[in-house]
Structure 1
Amino acid sequence: MGESSIFKVLSDPQRRDILVMLREGRMSAGEIAEKLGVSPPALSYHLRLLKGAELVTEYKEKNFVYYELNTSVLQELILWVEQFGGRKA
């Protein structure tokens, strides 16, 4: 997914909140929905976009699906953004 698509996914405050929550470690969809105060269908939509942008990963453990932050994509994005800074005329 290109940078423009990732920025589009990151443009939503609730999706950014999900990423901030996942900084602390893995969480189930139920935990995320409860903390955000959103319905399961709304959360599913946000998680689908975050997974599509490869910003989060999911894995199943018994009857639960857990989500984790994919820091490698965020690190690549930071490197891409940094190329535009630091130069002074």
Structure 2
Amino acid sequence: MVNTVFKALSDPTRRTILDLLREQDMTAGDIADHFDISKPSISQHLTLLKQADLVSSKRDGQHIVYSLNLTVFNELLKWILQFQSSKGSEPQ
């Protein structure tokens, strides 16, 4: 899971998509309106974010609405924080 998440987070466009979804759930078209790239490219970015489980989607009529999956962010944060407390003290 961690490798897939870091791969998804490595791209600035995907990080911006996550920032947008942090504010509100959006359709792919709404997301695409914030970028100067093609809608198929946005779809590819969304696919990678979904594969990493960072976003989820649900159908709303003819539209698919994307939202953040905060569970994965919480798991990732928990994993990262274990390194902070694993040594007990800093080397001198």
TM-score by length of 2: 0.90
- Give yes or no for contact 2:9–2:15 (8 Å, CA) kept in 1: yes
How far apart, CA to CA, are the structure 2 residues paired with 1:25 and 1:19?
10
Distance in 2, Cα, partners of 1:85 & 1:47: 31
How many percent identity over aligned positions? Answer: 43
Q: For each residue in 1:53-73, what CA deviation from the matched residue of structure 2 results, as whole angstroms up to 9, or x when unmatched?
A: 100001111111110000010
DSSP 3-state at the match of 1:68: strand
Deviating runs (4+, > 6 A) in structure 1?
none
Q: Which residue of 2 aligns with 1:88?
A: 89
In structure 1, stretches of 5+ residues that fail to align are none
**Distance across 2 between alignment mates of 1:26 and 1:42:** 19
Number of equivalences? 88
Alignment partner of 1:30 is 2:29? yes
Match of 1:79 in 2: 78
- Distance in 2, matches of 1:88 and 1:31, equals 47
TM-score, structure 1 normalization:
0.93
Q: How does 1:42-81 map to 2 (within 5 A)?
A: 42-81=41-80
Task: Please provide the CA RMSD for this pair.
Answer: 1.0
Return the offset for 1:37. Answer: 2.3
Q: Which has the larger radius of gyration?
A: 2
